[in-house]
Amino acid sequence: MSYNRRLTISCEGEHSIDCRLEAALAIIGGKWKLKIYQALAGGMPLRFSVLVKKLAGISEKTLTAQLREMEADGIIERAVYPEVPPRVEYQLTSLGVGLAPVCKALETWAEDYLVHRKA
Classify burial at 26, counting beta carbons within 10 Å of its beta carbon; exposed 0-12, middle 13-18, buried 19 or more: buried
Averaged confidence pLDDT in the chain: 88
Greater pLDDT, 27 or 75: 75
pLDDT score, position 21: 83
- First-to-last alpha carbon distance for the chain, in angstroms, is 40
Q: How many percent of the chain have pLDDT more than 70?
A: 87
Instruction: Spell out where 1-119 has E strands.
Output: 46-47, 76-81, 87-92
In the predicted structure, residue 88 carries a pLDDT above the cut 60:
yes
pLDDT score, position 16: 74
Domain coverage including residue 57? 31-118
pLDDT score, position 107: 92
Q: Which CATH number characterizes residue 80's domain?
A: 1.10.10.10
Least confident among 11-25, 64-78, 85-99: 11-25
In the predicted structure, residue 83 carries a pLDDT above the cut 60:
yes
13 occurs within a structural domain: no
6 occurs within a structural domain: no
Task: Say how many C-beta atoms besides its own lie within 10 A of residue 90's C-beta.
Answer: 21
pLDDT score, position 70: 94
Residues near 63 by beta carbon (within 8 Å), at least 6 away in sequence: 32, 36, 48, 51, 52, 55
102 occurs within a structural domain: yes
Give the chain's domain count.
1
